[in-house]
Structure 1
Amino acid sequence: MVSQNLASFKSRQEYRRNVELEEARKAGLVPAEVDKNGKEINPHIPKYVSDTPWYIKTDEGPSLEHQRKPESNVNGKKKSQYDSGAKVIQALKYREGACTNCGSMKHDAKSCIERPRKVGAKWNDKHIAPDEIVETLGHLTYDEKRDRWDGYNPSSYAHVLKRYELQQEARKKYLKEERIKKLEDQDVHHDDDMRVDEAKVDESKQTDFAKVEKRVRTAGGGSTGTVRNLRIREDTAKYLRNLDVNSAHYDPKSRSMRENPNPDADPNEQFYAGDNVWRNTGQALDFNQMNMHALEAFERGQDVHMQAAPSQAEFLYKNYKKIKERFTTQTNCTVLEKYGNAASGGELPKELLLGQSERVVEYDRAGRIIKGEEEAVPRSKYAEDVIINNHTCVWGSWWKGHRWGYKCCKQFMRNSYCTGAAGVEAAEAAIHLMEP
């Protein structure tokens, strides 16, 4: 390596002479340099392209062979081209060692790509598949093995170009006929107007103002969307609706103006009332309700997130609306079955008619009646407040030891005579003696 560097070393005079020669060749004063094949080397080729790399050994002078594709031939064709899969031999009978399924000699039954037959070619000698050419890629380089355009024939693209030309001719013919029909309807018979203006035709194609063209995998990363013709040129821009500095704020980055630029103007004459108007209409309200439903469901413990799983949130919101609507319908039907529908115009049940009254009662803060009469307590069919045998309380007003009795005398006998306080003392003494 040291001897090679010394051999390639040039003195100042030699380096200056080479630079002057190179400038003269670029100016056309000196003939261009010629390689070993007699081909001239363009003097304007950059030095990093024309210089031979250090790992290529050459002593034959200047050359651009390291930039050219090798043209070595194998069997009369280029190395990078091969006919893998071409059919060569069509046998009529099964041969020993061939595929038992299709009968081809180039693969075995395990590698056969044909449909497995019920009876293979080995046993019926029918439909023998032809042999295929199997190329060995050992002689090809790394790039030749991975060449995308290997074996591509440019002439195969001719039918695509022909079809495109036919489409263009048919399009021009159609536009011309439409133009002629339009002129005939308007009773215009000028020869100059019969010609189709291609510029106007192309301009008419630009009327799709809402078209969005996206390009992905940009240099900066991510995806960006470019919108062609954001608005019609005749429309007034948002920021020109009101030139007052203190009017509605306009964001030039997002081209949005949320507030109304002219709030004092007549609403019937306003063409633009701010972006917030559209946020409260259409599907914006549904989206806000769905977002609120997702937040409330997440707070109640459900694993749902509007940004992480929007499809799941929308599905749950739809199910929630269906269940709510079904529950509301069921509740309405239950109420109507029980109380009826007054709006239907039918007769009301007697229970509702008799349950209504015009009685008015007023009470003070202590609960005493000021105006009106207290509502009478409905009585049962049994006799109430009937006191017998000098008792001051009714039977069953006292309970002791799993037995009913009178509270006034503490007796358990139903038809006993009330003894007053003496009976109470006697009853307590009896109970005391019964206790352990």
Structure 2
Amino acid sequence: MATASVAFKSREDHRKQIELEEARKAGLAPAEVDEDGKEINPHIPQYMSSAPWYLNAERPSLKHQRKWKSDPNYTKSWYDRGAKIYQADKYRKGACENCGAMTHDSNSCMDRPRKVGAKWTNKHIAPDEKIETFELDYDGKRDRWNGYDASTYAYVIERYEARDGARRKFLKVQQLKKLEENNNQNDEAGVSDDDKEEDGLTVDESKVDESKQMDFAKVEKRVRTTGGGSTGTVRNLRIREDTAKYLLNLDVSSAHYDPKTRSMREDPLPDADPNEKFYGGDNHHRDSGEALEFKQLDIHACKAFDKGQDIHMQATPSQAELLYKNYKVIKEKLKFQTKDTILEKYGNAAGDEELPMEHLLGSPRLSPYFNGLLQAN
């Protein structure tokens, strides 16, 4: 449905309108002005700048985008909690039968139920509560923090600090007691003061809380995120005094360096002296020490599982390690048995025993012929 204010435009007028909008966006023409004399940003999309037809807007304006419905009854104040307005001397008709306040009845009374209510005793009449009514908007009714006083959180902090202080004091007393017991035992055993200082058994209050400072040299870095928080610690940071991996060898055909994971798997200096190198690539640690032993253990478990044995490295690691140890022992026994069998059959050339002639000649049929030649010579 077209509005009455929007007139028909010819092709030429439409082209001029588009050129004018492009000039305004480029800054070559002055910006359009609304009813209040304020400039309209030319980069605002048309679906936002054009008013609906039912507003009958004769001039360009952005009033339809502003909050034009304002509730005069809306307030940001909140209930005065615990406020009292009036306290009577005697019971009044229509008041609470339990406490004597006029602002509620006996069913909604929050005081402790009395043995004899104020209606019959006319004593200890409770004051009337302050009742207020607010007109809240849609957001105010659903705001879970509406009426919250941030200053009350100071009491929460004080309570937690007092609890932590009492806990630290208790732990310090317990540690001092343990050290005194150790000193008394050493005195009974006749240990000298020098030996106590060497063993660290003397009571020193300044050293009691040293256990809490064990991680002071731990290198950690907090990484900021877009939400303002922080992720966990970065564990692959290097010491600033050490040379970076990618600076060890500047050759283009050298080991590849991955900047995302900060890893260099190959050795950047393969021809250097092993005794002078302090870094041989990330794979060097995977193929040496306990890492290599674990790798061999995992390979053995996989092969044993393929052959039908009920073994699983992740489910039963102790069983897998025990079977691997038994496998290595049996393998060594078979190796020595094979060696003894070969020595019994072919002899030991490195030993002092004289080898038979058939072993030296490779055939027992030729040994009599060569023995006769040796005797003739």
TM-score (norm 1): 0.36
Structure exhibiting the larger radius of gyration computed from Cα positions? 1
- Higher relative contact order at CA 8 Å, sep ≥6: structure 1 or structure 2? 2
TM-score (norm 2): 0.40
The structure richer in helix per residue is 2
